[in-house]
Amino acid sequence: MGIKDDAVEIRAQGWRTLAALHGLIEAALARALGAHAELSVVEYTVLDALSRQDGWHMRMQQLARATALSPSATTRLVTRLEDRGLLTRILCIDDRRGIYTELTPAGRTLLDDAEPVHAATLERVLAEARESAELAPLVEALHTLPDRLVRPSAGQSAR
């Protein structure tokens, strides 16, 4: 293997490690949120994203980006959550073609109930992953990432 091949393999190994950690987190969150709040991980992500917005609402395309879903998958998901009374859709006053998705009080209540479960599960899985020689460096990097985003080092800009 040449130097370029080594660099490709290092990036590929990094990607596999990231995918492994993501899989562990996703599976644990799916079990915990499903058992406690009857929410999938992506449903929790939608409620959480909306709760972080002023007025608890977002345009559908913003929500699709926040959840990394296609527009059609986002529409289906919002419909399911709307049927459960957790979200509602509102026409945009400024642009009649625009539709906002808004968190309902019931959605906020369910999210408030699910947040501690989400946080505890994430903390537990990351602590377990820290015990793995392969995953430990990535877990450590995750713990320092917020500091890097808030206080970029010299020559870097916050993204």
pLDDT, one tens digit per residue, over 59-109 is 888 999 999 999 999 999 999 999 999 999 988 777 767 888 999 999 999
Report yes or no on whether pTM surpasses 0.95.
Answer: no
pLDDT at 158 over 50: no
- pLDDT score of 143: 84
Is residue 17 within 8 Å of 90, Cβ to Cβ?
A: no
Apex CA 98: angle with CA 95 and CA 104, to 5°? 120
- pLDDT score of 159: 40
- pLDDT score of 34: 98
Average pLDDT, stretch 40-58? 90
Distance CA 59, CA 64 (A): 9
- 104-156 residue pLDDT tens: 999 999 999 999 999 999 999 999 999 999 999 999 998 888 776 665 555 55
